[in-house]
Structure 1
Amino acid sequence: MDFVAGAIGGVCGVAVGYPLDTVKVRIQTEPKYTGIWHCIRDTYHRERVWGFYRGLSLPVCTVSLVSSVSFGTYRHSLAHICQLRYGSPDAKPSKADIALSGYASGLVRVFLTSPTEVAKVRLQTQTQAQKQQRRLSASGPSAVPVCPPACPEPKYRGPLHCLATVAREEGLRGLYKGSSALLLRDGHSFATYFLSYAILCEWLSPAGHSQPDVLGVLVAGGCAGVLAWAVATPMDVIKSRLQADGQGQRRYRGLLHCMVTSVREEGPRVLFKGLVLNCCRAFPVNMVVFVAYEAVLRLTQGLLT
């Protein structure tokens, strides 16, 4: 049942956080943006509301599976660790047990998320040359709002077309581009995520209760998401740049080269690009994720008892 609850929580979370995720990726990969509001205004001006949801269909289709695997892996890893260490899967785990189970959850999800992350980032950062050219043509002396034949079409027409194009042009390795940064990002961030959630739930549980109320779950889930993204943001920047690097001439030879080049060209602050946005997005998203997750678990437990 952990898998089902995780799937429902994940879908709710992506519905809340995707527009800010688009802004975050563009800030991390396109140096022209000076801040969050600059990116939001520019995206809306060029692409309207749809621009914030570019590449959404694939994450929506896959997030239930990914979230299911993440929460299911965490719970089952924790049960196995408790069985090995204490002789019972229902024994109270230590903080180290929770962190290790969260780390395992983060590593497992990478194999599922890397191709969808590549497609999402490519679609989110794809330049809208056709729209820009059409506007330029319309504003010219002829004022004919027709895109000339030479106007380039967007390279990727959608998530599946993007995946097929990347696989054809860059091979299987292209679908797992940036996976080394993704491993470093998700392993540590999910260890932080589940550990901080467990600690906060313990603190926020009323006296005589083993679990917090709904408000406690909201606060614990939101804070856990913020802390996880605070840990994840440096590798998230590198991951996004590596995955976006394939549209035109390649700039980066690998994770270390990307990190060194980015820091040399833009300073150490580049590794924290999108941090404020990540944290602002993480709080409401993970409030929703954990409330939905806990609600489904409690509902099913109530039905089974």
Structure 2
Amino acid sequence: MEDFLAGWVGGASSVVVGHPLDTVKTRLQAGTGYGNTLKCILTVYKKESVAGFFKGMSFPLASIAVYNSVVFGVFSNTQKFLTQYRSGESQPSRSLSDLILASMLSGVVSVGLGGPVDLIKIRLQMQTQPFLKANLHLKPKAKDLWNQPKYKGPVHCVTSIVQKDGLMGLYRGANAMLLRDVPGYCLYFIPYVFICEWITPDNYTDANPYTVWLAGGIAGAISWGTATPMDVVKSRLQADGVYYNKYKGVMDCISQSYQKEGLKVFFRGITVNAIRGFPMSATMFLAYELSLKALRRDQTVTVTNP
């Protein structure tokens, strides 16, 4: 249970640190007219002030904490289960095969819980994104809706999607998210574990906070950087469908994006992803590890001093 609680604390911390750059990343990947990273930041600030970078944060803050709680809990407990099944030991092993299986299972679980969270977050982040100029054939009344917010908030966004597309509408882009997160979590947890072991002195049993922070940051930068191509596809699929559906699925999104913008489109936002991945993941792992130690210390005190 302490793994789930510590994951909750780590998830909440990472949302606060990473959301501003996540907004920039989403606008670059799924929006139009933002150009490069710097221009996107200046445009958002000019049109929406600082509050624009935190648009849509309330929903992920309330839900991603729970989502990360489950992901970290599943990863840790899967490791323990595999170790106990093979050798009967209680401490999780650092076997590469165990780490891969635990990471892949975490990726699958993350889609089930995180798909709707990501969808709502992206829809709210894209509120001010104007329609493409190609849609000038729409009636004047429809054009007036372009710059008006479609959703009044997270709850209204959820109900609108369900009314329009049913419950499965909340999982739009889930296939792309699965293709992103299963390998993505392998490149998230595995580098973290091995970097921690590599830079922790032999005479220490546990990594110190600086080691955890550094290893978590590097792992996050690697994971988010390599996940960018499929992250672009996922963001486009989830941002699509506010007024009409442009893409029919993952392959159609890849095909249309490549035909119109070339191969470089799949690396849009890679700089923001890598930069954002470091502080966000460093904060997440540090908060997770510190919370875990605090919870286990309290548990020990409770057991030894009834």
* C-alpha RMSD of the superposition: 1.6
Amino acid at match of 2:47: R
1:284 aligns with 2:288: no
5 Å-filtered alignment, 1:70-85, equals: 70-85=71-86
Instruction: After TM superposition, give the deviation of residue 204 of structure 1 in Å.
Output: 1.1
> TM-score by structure 1 length?
0.90
In 1, the alpha carbon distance for the partners of 2:47 and 2:188 equals 36
Answering whether residue 64 of structure 2 is matched by residue 54 of structure 1, we say no
Match status 1:195 vs 2:190: yes
CA contact (8 A) 1:201 1:211 kept: no
In 2, are the aligned partners of 1:188 and 1:231 still within 8 Å (CA)? no
How far did residue 88 of structure 1 move?
Answer: 2.3
Q: In the aligned structure 2, how far is the partner of 1:19 from the partner of 1:50?
A: 9
SS at match of 1:210: coil
Q: Per the alignment, do residues 101 and 61 of structure 1 end up closer, same or farther by CA in structure 2, a change over 3 Å counting?
A: same
2: CA distance, partners of 1:128 / 1:66: 27
Aligned equivalent of 1:254: 249
Unaligned runs of 5+ in 2: 131-142, 301-306
Secondary structure at 2:210's aligned position in 1? helix
Measured after TM superposition, the shift of residue 115 of structure 1 is: 1.2
Cα distance in 2 between the residues matched to 1:159 and 1:177: 16
CA distance in 2, matches of 1:215, 1:83: 30
* 2:208 is the counterpart of 1:216: no
Q: How does 1:103-182 map to 2 (within 5 A)?
A: 103-127=104-128, 152=145, 153-182=148-177
Give the Cα–Cα distance (whole angstroms) in 2 for the partners of residues 181 and 212 of structure 1.
35
Aligned equivalents of 1:262, 1:210: Cα separation in 2? 49
Offset at 1:113? 1.2
Aligned residue number for residue 25 of structure 1: 26
Aligned to 2:298: 303
| Separation in 2, partners of 1:304, 1:159 | 37
Indicate whether 1:205 and 2:205 are aligned. no
Give the deviation of 1:233 after TM superposition. 1.1
Runs of 4 or more above 6 Å deviation: none
Distance 2:129 2:299 in 1: 52
Whether the 8 Å contact between 1:98 and 1:194 is mirrored in structure 2 is yes
The one-letter code matched in structure 1 to 2:235 is: S
Q: Report Cα offsets for 1:105-127 as digits up to 9, x if no partner.
A: 11102111111211111111122
Query: In 2, Cα distance between the equivalents of 1:191 and 1:242?
Result: 23
Specify the SS of the correspondent of 2:93: coil
Whether contact under 8 Å (2:116, 2:170) holds in the other structure is yes
Deviations 1:132-156 (A, max 9, x none): xxxxxxxxxxxxxxxxxx9544211
Q: 2:259 aligns with which of 255, 258, 264?
A: 264
Give % identity: 41
Aligned counterpart, 2:37: 36
Name the structure 2 match of 1:133: none
Asked if structure 2 preserves the Cα contact closer than 8 Å seen for 1:202 and 1:210, the reply is no
